[in-house]
Every structure is written in structure tokens, then in C-alpha cells.
Amino acid sequence: MKMKNKIGERIFNLGEKGFTLIEIMIGSAVAILLLALVSGIIKSQGNTFSRQLSLNQMETNGRAAVDFLSRSIQNAGYNISRGSRFLAASDHYISTVFDENDDGVIQNDEIITLSVSNVAKQYTETFTISPHFDFDDDGQVDSIETQDYEVGLALLGPPFDIYQFIPSKTNSNIVKNAVVRNIDNLVIRYFDKNNSPLPEEVSLDANGLAIPPYTLSKAELSQIRKIEFEIIARSSDEDPNEKFVDSGTYLMGSIAAQSGSTSYSDRYHRRIFKAVSSPRNLVTAPFGKIILSANPNPINCPQNKTVVTANLVNLEGDQVSDELEVKFNASGGEISPKMAWLFRGETTTALSYDWASSILTTTVSASTQIEFEGKKIAIYNAIPVTFDGQFLDDFDAGLKPGWIEHPKSSPGSSRWIVEGGKYRTRETGDNESINGCEHLKNYEVLVNIQKSTDHAQGDYFGLILRSPPDLNNATSGYYMVRVVCFSCEGTNSSNHRYRLELVDKQGPYDSVLTSVDLEPSEFSFLAGEDYTLKAIVTDNVLIGKFWKSSELEPSDDPADTPKPADPPEPARNGRTIDASNSSYSQGKIGLASNTSKNTFDNLVVKPLS
């Protein structure tokens, strides 16, 4: 029976049925399951983001520590007229002097003293520096403008911060500023002109390296010609995966081992940074200096050469006209000529690099001898020169320049497209898109993969390695690490089977160098999840890896993959394959796919780990 109001509109029908209690309970249960699933996905993505953020900060801290120490060491002694270029040195601190603003006068903030320390004000160690600088701001440094400063360190155990200590102009106080956070350990080693370790009586390990702790004497400070340092940077936060464990031991005698436990086992990530540096200005006196420059610097691939210019100037900054021979040297790359004559105070040489790695920072030096007060005086200078072939495209702002599609698209159209900050092909059939430097030889390349829906039989996606600049040449070839769905029949995607392959691709022909099946019981490849595809090329050795991005990266050794859980370390379900082949020695990187069902994101080319 229908009830109506005065104007005949229907209000309700007594014959209509509502939901039963059982239907409501089933609907609620389904809703709860869906919420739990969404919550798990959000938590997983949040953990991945948190981990990556912490790892990026750790990387930044490590590189900042390298930059601070390298700059202080390389510039030590520049433009100083009194005192020495090194004021103090030990296995965990160093104090240098240089004219940072190039005004010819040393100020108090140009006394660069760096050391690890904790925040605590209770000092466990002190050392003294006696710098010369312009106390009265009259534009010169007199012989009486010096005093002793005591530097206090709180060494209570890692993690430390690296602090810069700046002497006061008005009293003997020191201003302490943190410049790098979360440093687990720091070891600094010193060598003389014969490459012998300093201090002279220091104990050496099996590799001939100085064993901490040690401190250099005043006489030994003037003998320093090379400095090596090793930094362990630590993540600020623990890994969100409660089963993750990072364990290891600190170098015997190092400051971390002295002030705390000799080993660690926790959920923090760590990375070791190593560098070698030399003072540029081994002679500073009123008879002149060598000014070095490189153009371009840095050098970006595909360029492989830079011009290094040396200018010899006197104390007033005027070029020296004497015909003098200049010797050039470089710690990496090839320099030619190695000897050249000054012409009107200037000479040049060329530094080249074969792009064996995606990045190289080399120290280029120049030296000569001049007559001063009847004596032959050596003048020396050095600068860092960087060859940078690294590549990164996160596709967030569209495509970076340089992408070349194959097959070529018709004018005004593209076979590949960026959508939502991710890159994919929109065509079926073999599709490649290449970028990067054609001269690169050895490197790591990785990319994030996500499939939007289930693959069909024969669908694949991959990373292109050592590609020629023109893929239209049918005789050209390249390597590829790819994942192919070789058994994707039926609608039950949980039974679909994939294979990880290393391929030598010559035109339309594929030669599979090695492969491994990704069994669904061990490795689930799910739509909407992030996965990582990685390739490593080192001379004739090729390594391919594939794993779920929220899990730990598999080992470089295929025999160790997959690796079951070994509490507290979680399982590593990813797979690794390797092969040896010498078909191609260098080339571009790229992406390949024959389906639009997967996307690429965060493509990175970086030097070998």
C-alpha cells in the first residue's frame, strides 16, 4: 500500500524491503577488510618514504663532512704570511689556516678547526692552537698578533657531530658551531712527501696504515703532504622495519671505539665515505704564487677534456715574465703535456678522462722553481677537477632533455609519455627510450617499476645498458636487464610467472645471457606496488637485480638470493643474476617495454658502490 500526500507525491512504500542484519554485518566486515588493506599500503608507503628521507639526509651529511674537510685541507696555507698552514692534527681533529675571502689578510673565522664532539659541555679531551690573525682589524697580521686557545671536546661516544671552532678576537674563548650532524666515526691519516705515515713512530696495521690514537707534533705538521680521511655517517632515525639490523665493528683505536663500544648492532643505517686530499699551497711566501684554473669545471659527459691554465704572479699579483718550466700532475685522468714553459707568466695543459666511471674528482697540480735571494724556491698549487656523468630523472616536472625514442615517433606525437610524475610507453611492440652519456663505461643504474594491471603473455620491461646513440642502426646492439611475463595465461594473476633476464640485444635478435625464474611462491609481483630494477656494469661483468622496493636489496651474488629470514634480519626475496660478456664497452642508458601496463620512476645513474 502506498501512502501519498495531498498533491499525490509518493512518500514511502510499505512493500519495499531494507537490508537484513546479516547483510549489514557482511558489508561492515568487507569495509573493515578494505580499510585494513588500505591502511597497510599507506603504512608501507610511509615507511618507504621515511627510510628514503633518512638515507638522503645521511648521504647529505656524509658528503658535507667530506666537503668541509677537503676544502680545509686543499686550501691550507693559502695567502698566509705568518704562522703555519696546520696548527694541530690528530686522528679525529685538524686545524688549518687559509685566506678564504682572498683579501690578503687572515681573520679569526679563517682559522678552520674541525673535530668530532658530542653536545655535552663536559670536556673529555683538550688541545691547543696558536694562530696568527688580524686581531685589531688594521688590515695586516703583525708578529705579536697571536695567542693560545684551548679547544675542548666532549667525546662520550657515537653519534658525534662535526664542529667548527672559531677563536675570539677579544679573549681566549672559542665559539663552537655544529657543521655536520650524525657522524658515527672519523679517522684522519697523514703522510709526508715520501708517502710515509705520520707521526713517525705510529703503529701500522697490516696495510701499512696508521693505527689510532695519535697526535702530530709541531715539527710533523710541516711535513704533511697528503691526508686521507674516512667518515662513517649514520642515519638520524632507525629503519622503520623492526627486523632490520645493521651491525659491524669500528676501527681499532678510532674515536668511536675509544669513547664507546667497539661494535654496533642496531636499526640505524650507516655509510662510509673516504677521500684523499693534499694542501694546494705547500709554499707561501712573499715571492709569488701559482694560480690554477680549469675550464670547464666540472666537465659533464659527453665532454671528456678540460683546459688547465697556470699563471705565475708576484706578490703584487702581476704576472712573472721569466721563462720557467712548469710541471703538471693529476691524481686521475690523463694530463698532457706534463711539462710546459711559461709565456708571459702563463701556460696551459689539457686533462682528459675516458669515463671509466660516472664521476671522478681528481687533483691537478702545477709546480715550478724561481730564484729568490740566490736560492731556488719551489712554488706549488693544486685544484680539484670533477668529471660528472651522473644522471637523474624523477619525471616530476616532465622529461629532462636528451631522451630519444625508438622507433621514432611521427612529428607532433610521442610513443612515450609522462603522467603523474611517471614515465611509460603508450604503444605495444618493442619500444625504447635512451638518454645519458654515450661514453660511460662502468656504473650502476636503477629505476622504480610499478604495474597498473596484470601483464599478458610476453609482456616485458627493462633497463638498457651501453646503448649506441642511434638505435635505428640494425647492426647496433646493447645490453638489457629485463623482467618478462613468460607464463601469464588465465585471470588468476597470483599464478603468473616472471623471469629476470640479462640480454645481449642485436637489432631484432635477443641473446639471453642468463636468467632466473621468479617463482610466485617466493616472489610476488603485485599491481600498485613499487619494485626496483637495477643493473651494474663493470668492465665485462653484468649484474641484474629485481626486488620489492620496501624490502632490502638482494646481494650482488646470485647464490645468496633469495635469502630467507635470519632473525633479527628479515628475508631478502629479491633475485640477482650475473653474466660475463664483452660485446659492448660503453654507451647510453635507457628504458624498454612492449606494454603500457607498467610505469618507470626515479631513474638514477651513479658511480659504482
List, for residues 194-203, the tens digit of each pLDDT value. Answer: 899 999 989 9
Whether 338 contacts 326, CB under 8 Å:
no
Whether the per-residue pLDDT at 247 is higher than 50: the answer is yes
Whether the per-residue pLDDT at 532 is higher than 70: the answer is yes
Residue 405: band (very low, low, confident or very high) from pLDDT cuts 50, 70, 90: very high
Q: Which three cell numbers stand for residue 378?
A: 719551489
- Residue 40: what pLDDT? 55
Closest CA to 451 of 392, 414, 498: 498
Per-domain residue ranges for the chain? 59-277, 289-388, 391-606
Residue 508 DSSP label: T
Reduce the DSSP state of residue 301 to 3 states and report it: coil
Give dist(CA 434, CA 413) in Å, integer: 17
The CATH number for 289-388, chosen from 2.60.40.10, 3.30.1360.10, 3.10.20.310, 1.10.10.10, is 2.60.40.10
pLDDT tens per residue, range 74-124: 888 887 767 778 999 999 999 999 888 888 889 999 999 999 999 877 899
Domain 391-606 has CATH 1.10.760.10: no
Whether the per-residue pLDDT at 540 is higher than 60: the answer is yes
pLDDT tens per residue, range 3-33: 444 444 444 454 555 667 777 777 777 777 7
Please classify residue 521 by burial: count the beta carbons closer than 10 Å to its beta carbon, then call 0-12 exposed, 13-18 middle and 19+ buried.
exposed
Give 28's Cβ-side CA count (13 Å radius): 7
- The larger pLDDT score, comparing residue 165 to residue 48, is at 165
Average of per-residue pLDDT across 59-83: 83
- Residue 43: what pLDDT? 52
Average of per-residue pLDDT across 151-180: 93
- Residue 284: what pLDDT? 39
Low-confidence winner among 280-284, 342-346, 381-385, 581-585 (lowest mean pLDDT): 280-284
**Strand-strand pairing, 375-388 and 299-300:** parallel
- Residue 547: what pLDDT? 95
Q: Residue 404, Cβ neighbours under 10 Å: how many?
A: 16
Give dist(CA 551, CA 547) in Å, integer: 7
Give dist(CA 447, CA 388) in Å, integer: 20
Closest CA to 90 of 269, 258, 206, 316: 258
Whether 87 contacts 221, CB under 8 Å:
yes
Give dist(CA 313, CA 308) in Å, integer: 16
pTM higher than 0.75 for the full model? no
Reduce the DSSP state of residue 40 to 3 states and report it: helix
- The larger pLDDT score, comparing residue 174 to residue 281, is at 174
Which DSSP string do the residues of 403-465 spell out, in sequence order? -EEESPPPTT--SEEEETTEEEE-SSS-EEEEES-TT--BEEEEEEEEESSPPPTT-EEEEEE
Whether the per-residue pLDDT at 363 is higher than 80: the answer is yes
User: With helix as H, strand as E and coil as C, how does 234-245 read?
Assistant: ECCCCCCCCCCC
Q: Tell me phi and psi for residue 290, to 5 degrees.
A: -100, 130
- Residue 607: what pLDDT? 85
- Residue 17: what pLDDT? 57
- Residue 1: what pLDDT? 44
| Cα 216 to Cα 116, 213, 456, 474, distances in angstroms | 17, 11, 68, 63
Residue 38: band (very low, low, confident or very high) from pLDDT cuts 50, 70, 90: low
* Average confidence score pLDDT of the chain: 87
